[in-house]
Structure 1
């Protein structure tokens, strides 16, 4: 779930990056076709780049860990009764899905509306275009190779201008751009910039069509009057290229604007440093590897051999049992006092053990019921061997009185170490994200973006249009003066956060190595508890309860760590 949120955040950030580059650098240029491909490249980049990572390997010194060859599959679990908590991940996903499905329904309704306009109409084929003359009062539009209009609403000259315009849309497949922008609005509907991005794509397509159509039309002024006439049509079909799609004033200004100089092409490359910075900040995965490719955990690894006797063990298996101990560990074992019931199950047995000149150890079980199990555990560590006798619960569970082992009420002379609680390993504490003061934002009058002026309702009102143009000039001037202060502020914030993230990543690398060691120690700890006490013993239960308390504390530390990370993210977003 977290990976999905991170992907959406990165993708949305790239959309914002490309839109800002277009808005501040390219929207006033007459490189309309280049702008088209720039905007489409921004959408594709925002979709693909978050999946691409550069892997950086950091070589670290080996961490000595003394443990047996335990697998890393041990995951301690504790069962807790938790109070009801709202899962905000599900709330966010549910909200997103609701918005997504609403827009899907709207998208399907638009297709249905388009189909109702085209269905059953007479089609006139000319070259690569299909012309449909409708009776409905709708604005002219094109959809792939279909060009739809109402000829009764225009003069022949106006209709010629409209058709030339729509031919450009159809010939250059502008419908694909429209559909792509709609799909991105479906996926990222929660991001307000994507709607502005879509508007920029549609307006630029109109600039392209106006520019190409005006080259084929001798009377440009008549073409502009045709634009003004189309503004009276309120009804239009979605997911198509409308003849009236963007603000008429902008289109007329672009029609009369001088061609941009070729040297201004440098603005397209201004996005590259920002993309490189994005990759270095967010798309680099750091992997810590030890300098020794095949590190030996210990020169003399610990090994444990268990020789178990069950109620179903045969005399032949007991013989092999003693031979293996002599052959593998030079341990002398004598088995005697064997008794079996009618089912040939062991009910009594005595096992005497001696290692070299060491002291004897004895397992002796007597009774009428079949034995559960008993055995010998030999631990080899740093070249030395340690022998322990073990039984599994029930009546045959060993009881320690001083240094003597008593089984079934009978004492023998076995000398063993006094049973003590094995200390579980301590979980490492996760690092905290560095905090500190942040630079002050620009002054209040600079922190609020100016509001764009509202165009007059009547474009023929010259006084109102003149006032609107002056307000537009002032608005653009304010936007240009606003940009340097915000850019400097953003750069300061990015530098501070970059340094803090670098420090935090180094601490996380150390923490991950410590966690690997902790997991290995936990595996060894659990194994030692089971071997020394048995799963059914009181000592095992005591140690496991202590372990559960330690794990609860570890979970509290992890929750605190997650809380600190969320606060850090909020602080970063606020900055």
Structure 2
């Protein structure tokens, strides 16, 4: 899998696009229910889209994974060790440490909610069930319960409070708030997430006010009651509070003329923008494999073997084996040791201490290099430590050809961006010398870039 850091960047870029789309096109519309859905679907999509092959909607990939893998020889090597103290790991550590602090803060808020619940008693006012808290609090709802200190409010206030909070309860608005609190824990470093969290809370209040007025409540009376309700007492950031912070904006939105249905076209306009943005930053599964393969070519010791010059190669599976115990002996494999064919019995008699590594290649690999063994179920390749040393010496002398230009030494390949590589061909022995003379006697690696 590609770097976790790349995934984090992709997710946060799309979260920013979603908020900016809301701020630029949707914020002033009165389609609050659609805005709610936009935020919820957008947040989920932001975390899912890096795993989707959205680029395929725009273009067909020019290099199938199977063809790329077909160019690679059978080899097994040990990856070069990397220090744990890298910039990437430092970034991960900072994200986790601060994220844990926000997680602790959320847990403390939930504990405060539990305390309020413990110090409350179930009661009923007219047709509304609620939790009557024993000390002053700002009225709020959480999940399916409404909390308030009844003695703190007059009868007209209670009517509007219950009308308001009952809509929060029936709309399960607490789940939206919890979802974006968790999003803040994960993406606290993204300023657009803070703005989105605030916008979600605002939109829920607009939606609730709209539905209260749709039930026949007088607009002016309702607005005056909002101004007169007592604001004294404890409050919780994780709840649906009878919110006063955005009261001026709420009153302005209540007095705003309903948006025309023609304004719905803004949602249709925003959808392709979000999809296009996602496609622009997606690492598709095919590109992911190409990147991984290029890293293998860079960081590991290549065994330069012969591949037919122009033959199209079918896709095949290849994986490294840690021991002979991983080999399925019920299958009829072609066994190779230092590229020499061995019988199954001779192969299993090789001392494990002599092995540098092993690799399994599925049946498709037979068509690439061992067409005479097409009746086999695949290839088990093993290499000795002596062969490893020989390969390392040979690889250092290999000729690299990048976009038709001969380069001596692997430094030229190391300087390439893996995302710019379109294909790799590997030539050796007679095929290499026929095409490149003495310069190709140690093998030739032909690299074609997308440019």
Describe the shift of the 1:246–1:59 C-alpha distance in structure 2 as closer, same or farther (beyond 3 A): same
Contact 1:202 1:246 in 2 (8 A): no
Bigger relative contact order (CA 8 A; separation at least 6) = 2
Q: Does 1:215 align with 2:210?
A: no
How does the TM-score come out when normalised to structure 2? 0.62
Structure 2 equivalent of residue 58 of structure 1:
62
Structure 2 equivalent of residue 266 of structure 1:
265
The 5 Å alignment of 1:32-431 reads 32-53=32-53, 56-58=60-62, 71-74=74-77, 86-124=85-123, 130-230=129-229, 232-233=231-232, 235-244=234-243, 246-283=245-282, 284=284, 285-286=286-287, 292-293=312-313, 424-426=397-399, 427-428=409-410, 429-430=412-413
The CA deviation string for residues 357-411 of structure 1, in whole angstroms up to 9 with x for no partner, is xxxxxxxxxxxxxxxxxxxxxxxxxxxxxxxxxxxxxxxxxxxxxxxxxxxxxxx
Q: Could you tell me how far apart the structure 1 residues matched to 2:419 and 2:112 are?
A: 57
Secondary structure of residue in 2 paired with 1:148: strand
Q: Could you tell me how far apart the structure 1 residues matched to 2:126 and 2:103 are?
A: 35
Secondary structure of residue in 1 paired with 2:3: helix
Q: Could you tell me how far apart the structure 1 residues matched to 2:398 and 2:94 are?
A: 43
CA positional deviation for 1:104: 1.2
Contact 1:169 1:209 in 2 (8 A): yes
Describe the shift of the 1:30–1:430 C-alpha distance in structure 2 as closer, same or farther (beyond 3 A): same
Secondary structure of residue in 1 paired with 2:28: coil
The CA deviation string for residues 113-146 of structure 1, in whole angstroms up to 9 with x for no partner, is 0000011522126899640122322110011121
CA positional deviation for 1:275: 2.7
The 5 Å alignment of 1:520-531 reads none
CA positional deviation for 1:24: 1.0
Q: Could you tell me how far apart the structure 2 residues matched to 1:225 and 1:146 are?
A: 25
Q: Could you tell me how far apart the structure 2 residues matched to 1:507 and 1:48 are?
A: 25
Q: Could you tell me how far apart the structure 2 residues matched to 1:128 and 1:5 are?
A: 53
Q: Could you tell me how far apart the structure 2 residues matched to 1:248 and 1:198 are?
A: 17
Q: Could you tell me how far apart the structure 1 residues matched to 2:63 and 2:38 are?
A: 40
Q: Could you tell me how far apart the structure 2 residues matched to 1:160 and 1:31 are?
A: 26
The CA deviation string for residues 31-75 of structure 1, in whole angstroms up to 9 with x for no partner, is 111111111111111111111125654259xx9xxx9x9622245
Describe the shift of the 1:137–1:76 C-alpha distance in structure 2 as closer, same or farther (beyond 3 A): closer
Describe the shift of the 1:7–1:424 C-alpha distance in structure 2 as closer, same or farther (beyond 3 A): same
Q: Does 1:20 align with 2:20?
A: yes
Describe the shift of the 1:44–1:93 C-alpha distance in structure 2 as closer, same or farther (beyond 3 A): same
Q: Could you tell me how far apart the structure 2 residues matched to 1:87 and 1:104 are?
A: 26
The CA deviation string for residues 276-301 of structure 1, in whole angstroms up to 9 with x for no partner, is 32344233444789761359xxxxxx
Q: Could you tell me how far apart the structure 2 residues matched to 1:156 and 1:114 are?
A: 25
How does the TM-score come out when normalised to structure 1? 0.49
CA positional deviation for 1:219: 3.2
Residue segments in structure 1 that go unaligned for 5+ positions in a row: 296-301, 307-420, 434-503, 522-546, 548-575
Q: Could you tell me how far apart the structure 2 residues matched to 1:208 and 1:194 are?
A: 21
Structure 2 equivalent of residue 8 of structure 1:
8
Q: Could you tell me how far apart the structure 1 residues matched to 2:127 and 2:280 are?
A: 49
CA RMSD in angstroms comes to 3.7
Describe the shift of the 1:245–1:173 C-alpha distance in structure 2 as closer, same or farther (beyond 3 A): farther
Contact 1:174 1:205 in 2 (8 A): yes
Describe the shift of the 1:140–1:509 C-alpha distance in structure 2 as closer, same or farther (beyond 3 A): same
Q: Could you tell me how far apart the structure 2 residues matched to 1:76 and 1:8 are?
A: 25
The CA deviation string for residues 286-325 of structure 1, in whole angstroms up to 9 with x for no partner, is 4789761359xxxxxx97689xxxxxxxxxxxxxxxxxxx
Q: Could you tell me how far apart the structure 2 residues matched to 1:39 and 1:305 are?
A: 60
Contact 1:142 1:148 in 2 (8 A): yes
Contact 2:21 2:270 in 1 (8 A): yes
Q: Could you tell me how far apart the structure 1 residues matched to 2:398 and 2:274 are?
A: 45
Instruction: Pick from 500, 503, 508 the counterpart of residue 421 of structure 2.
Output: 508
Secondary structure of residue in 2 paired with 1:72: coil
Contact 2:152 2:230 in 1 (8 A): no
Contact 2:153 2:230 in 1 (8 A): no
Q: Could you tell me how far apart the structure 2 residues matched to 1:119 and 1:241 are?
A: 19
CA positional deviation for 1:186: 0.9
The CA deviation string for residues 406-429 of structure 1, in whole angstroms up to 9 with x for no partner, is xxxxxxxxxxxxxxx978325542
Q: Could you tell me how far apart the structure 1 residues matched to 2:420 and 2:37 are?
A: 43
Describe the shift of the 1:19–1:230 C-alpha distance in structure 2 as closer, same or farther (beyond 3 A): farther
Q: Could you tell me how far apart the structure 2 residues matched to 1:36 and 1:208 are?
A: 9
CA positional deviation for 1:87: 1.9
Contact 1:430 1:508 in 2 (8 A): no
Structure 2 equivalent of residue 457 of structure 1:
none
Secondary structure of residue in 2 paired with 1:430: helix
Secondary structure of residue in 1 paired with 2:141: strand
Q: Could you tell me how far apart the structure 2 residues matched to 1:232 and 1:156 are?
A: 16
